Amino acid sequence: MAFVPVSRSSVADHVFAQLRDAIVSGRYRPDDPLPGERELAAVFAVNRHAVREALRRLQQLGLLRVSQGGATRVLDWRVHAGLDLALSLAQSGDVLPVDTLVRDMMEMRACVGVDAARLCAERADAALRSTVTRAVEEYAALAPDLHAMGEVNIVLWRHIVDGSGNTAYLLAFNSLVAGAVAVGDVPPERRAAELLDVAGHRRLGAAVAEGRGDDAAAQAHALLTAPLTTPTTPPGRERRA
């Protein structure tokens, strides 16, 4: 095995990262056994406690099946892992490039956001509809400050996802706005076509406020897919409402 001995600082992190990358890259295939703790400790030149901690974290990510008294075997991450793996992989551009992960997260964001907007328009109560309307105007007032708009955009979408009444969407949203590949951490210039479309956000807010689910979904789709299809807006070319 071509693993590299690591320094004594954060040794469990280094062991975890190297094993994670080996599994995701296919060096270990599903159902392959991992070497035992003693052998891994020798290969990495660390103590067995660090190896045990790394294996525990890999198990939590859905990469390993640990059997008491038996072999530790690799699981198929495409079947067993969740969004936590994507956030973890952002630390290793050698396995899945960060740009690819960011694109994938933004595509997922669009899928969740479109349906959340539709459900919010159909399910939200009057108080939440008013909250969305106010959030849109607070957002619009920040144009053309992309950085400030990016921060408030997350607040606006949290209201919309909350109004959808879908707990799974809310948990996915939390993953999409936190961590190393979070949408909120994407340079706002990359999202300029979306963020600077103030009129589009107002149309979204109006559709939600008026209970027009299909219109809300259509406007959400236009906004959330814009960064995936539109080049970055050059300085001085911002759109204002």
Q: pLDDT (tens digit, 9 = 90+) per residue, 103-147?
A: 888 899 999 999 999 999 999 999 999 999 999 999 999 999 999
Q: Within a domain: residue 50? A: yes
Q: Within a domain: residue 6? A: no
What residues in the chain have per-residue pLDDT under 50? 180-181, 232-241
Residue 2's CB is within 10 A of a number of other CB atoms, namely 7
* Same domain, yes or no: 57 and 152: no
Q: Within a domain: residue 18? A: yes
* Same domain, yes or no: 15 and 134: no
User: What is the spatial distance between Cα 241 and Cα 234, in angstroms, rounded to a whole number?
Assistant: 18
Looking at residue 94, its pLDDT comes to: 59
User: The domain spanning residue 62 has which CATH number?
Assistant: 1.10.10.10
Full domain range(s) for residue 59: 11-89
Residue found under tokens 């009129």: 199
Looking at residue 93, its pLDDT comes to: 54
Count of residues for the chain? 241
User: The domain spanning residue 167 has which CATH number?
Assistant: 1.20.120.530
Nearest to 73 by CA among 61, 88, 81, 63: 63
Long-range contacts of 97-101, Cβ-Cβ distance < 8 Å, separation of 24 or more: 98/181, 101/181
Looking at residue 235, its pLDDT comes to: 39
* Same domain, yes or no: 189 and 154: yes
Looking at residue 156, its pLDDT comes to: 96
Overall number of domains in the chain: 2
Q: Within a domain: residue 236? A: no
* Same domain, yes or no: 123 and 68: no
What predicted TM-score, i.e. pTM, was given to this entire model?
0.74
